[in-house]
Amino acid sequence: METAFKNIAALIGDPTRATILWTLLDGKAFTATELAIAADTSPQNMSMHLTKLVQADLLSVESQGRHRYYKFSRKDVAYAIEALANLIPAARNTPAVEQDSAVKYCRTCYDHLAGKIGVAITDSLISQEILSETFDLTTKGNKWFGKIGIDVDVLKQQRRTFIRPCLDWSERRHHLAGAVGAALLDMMLAEDWLRRTRQSRAIVVTAEGEKMLKKHFLLTPSSVHV
Amino acid sequence: METAFKNIAALIGDPTRATILWTLLDGKAFTATELAIAADTSPQNMSMHLTKLVQADLLSVESQGRHRYYKFSRKDVAYAIEALANLIPAARNTPAVEQDSAVKYCRTCYDHLAGKIGVAITDSLISQEILSETFDLTTKGNKWFGKIGIDVDVLKQQRRTFIRPCLDWSERRHHLAGAVGAALLDMMLAEDWLRRTRQSRAIVVTAEGEKMLKKHFLLTPSSVHV
DNA sequence: CAAATACTTCAGTCTACACTTAAATATGGA
DNA sequence: TCCATATTTAAGTGTAGACTGAAGTATTTG
């Protein structure tokens, strides 16, 4: 079993493969070519790496015409990558000028909203007593989610974890994950409060989104630094 | 940030370093020489690897005389390694003769009891309604822990997570972790129900332990296969 | 149907970095 | 004080496996 562990570790340890996994944290499926561009390598090389990851059952492929879409084969993989990302050493001496990209402030973490905005929204949910300190949904919270169009009873039926806290690697604070976290992100994207950007995990807030974030979560633009 | 992730991944990806981390999952501190033996390499080489892991703040060292004790620098590291271990492909076709070592049945996972016995104990706690299905301690459970000599109120004061479920890589089932899980293991070792083995993560059940496991968790030797 | 795109396969090459040999430093014990 | 043990440091070597170039297989498009 120790050998199996070494194999998994070696698989994740290669820089190119690490980049693949990092990119896929987005939660979307990517084609081989997209991943080759993201990892700045040749298609042949990417193909070789993807084959290895699929063989180890870390990724799964789905063919659609001449494209092959790669994604995590199971949630556990995303969780493990998240756990690794949490080991990134905390920013040492914050530079005078904030150099971090938008990703730090607003990005997705597998299938839910992370980054500064994810943490801010989660804080707001707790202070509004929609969530308890222990990440349980309150009676008040049940009603609140219904009002914004998310049927929590349906989410409870799902096999996946209903609510779980996810520790963010940049903010080092918990934010909302699980079925509820994913549903919240889906809603925000569907309602066009947020929009995905093309090649990155960054998310942008629309004008409408800014209004709605203020209304529902009492967030001002400055409080999320977008 | 992506670069930082690659660095972490590369650090964990080397077979020798993976073995170090795997060994340390035990929760104990090891000397450089012990780790060199465990990883089947030279002391010089081990020294080089340990230096890298300490520099990346994955491990911390404590000097005691001419020995240097290495352990995880923070809990997050152990959690990440656990998450990785969960990616080990599930046993495909179980061989006719069970080849797995005792480790599979009874071992520690960072600082709490995992393996078949860890899962069995957790199941028992839930069926006895000491824990709820959602891993919350019940009123009944509060009393129960007091009776076996564990003061849960003291544990609640600790900064670490009070109770958390940990997914076991061999059993693929949740078992008890967090402060309560660690306290339970400590108690069992202190009362000599269980004993650590010399060079491995395996744990053996003493004669006394067998009696007590039966008494408190309704576990028969066959139900834990020890 | 030919041409373009998406992706894979199979050789051969090349280099990062784990490992070795050798020697130095520090602590403990007789 | 001298020797054994624990560990680190330094310099040189060897190789696993990532990458490249060339060619092959699907699929779509015009």
Q: What's the pLDDT tens digit per position in B144-181?
A: 999 988 888 888 777 667 887 776 666 656 788 888 88
Could you tell me what percent of chain A has a pLDDT over 70? Answer: 81
- Give me the pLDDT at residue A94, please: 36
Task: Tell me, yes or no, if B104 comes closer than 8 A to chain A by beta carbon.
Answer: yes
Say whether the CB atom of B148 is under 7 angstroms from strand C. no
Instruction: Answer yes or no: is pLDDT of A101 > 60.
Output: no
Residues 110-149 of A with CB under 7 A from strand C: none
Please report the residues numbered 154 through 173 in chain A whose beta carbons come closer than 8 angstroms to any beta carbon of chain B.
167, 169-170
CA B47 – C1' D17 distance (Å)?
A: 25
Nearest nucleotide to A17 by CA–C1' distance? Answer: D18
Provide the pairing of β-strand A194-196 with A203-205: antiparallel
Q: Give the number of other CB atoms < 10 A from CB of residue B67.
A: 13
pLDDT digits (tens, 9 = 90+) for A161-215: 778 777 665 555 678 887 888 888 888 888 888 887 755 667 778 878 888 888 8
- Give me the pLDDT at residue B29, please: 83
pLDDT digits (tens, 9 = 90+) for B191-203: 888 887 765 667 7
**Residue B187 in tokens:** 């108690």
Burial annotation A192-211 (CB, 10 A radius, 16+ → b, else e): ebbeeeeeebbbebeeebbe
Q: Identify the closest residue of chain B to A4 by CA–CA distance.
A: B88
Which residue ranges does chain A devote to CATH 1.10.10.10?
Answer: 2-84
Q: Give the mean pLDDT of A59-66.
A: 86
Nearest nucleotide to A36 by CA–C1' distance? Answer: C7
Cβ proximity of A77 and A84 under 8 Å: no
Cβ proximity of B36 and B50 under 8 Å: no
Q: Identify the closest residue of chain A to B77 by CA–CA distance.
A: A87
What letter would DSSP give residue B193?
S
Nearest protein residue by Cα to C1' of nucleotide D19: A45
**Residue A93 in tokens:** 């001496």
Instruction: Answer yes or no: is pLDDT of B116 > 80.
Output: no
Q: In the β-sheet with B59-64, what is the strand arrangement from edge to edge?
A: B30-31, B67-72, B59-64
The answer to whether the CB atoms of B87 and A103 lie below 8 A apart is: no
What letter would DSSP give residue B136?
P
Say whether the CB atom of A55 is under 7 angstroms from strand C. no
Sorted by sequence, the CB contacts under 8 Å of residue B194 that are 6+ apart come out as B106, B113, B185, B188, B203, B204, B205, B206, B209
Q: Assign domain B2-84 to a CATH class.
A: mainly alpha
Say whether the CB atom of A33 is under 7 angstroms from strand C. yes
Q: Which chain B positions have a beta carbon within 8 Å of A167's beta carbon? A: 76
Share the mean pLDDT of chain A: 80
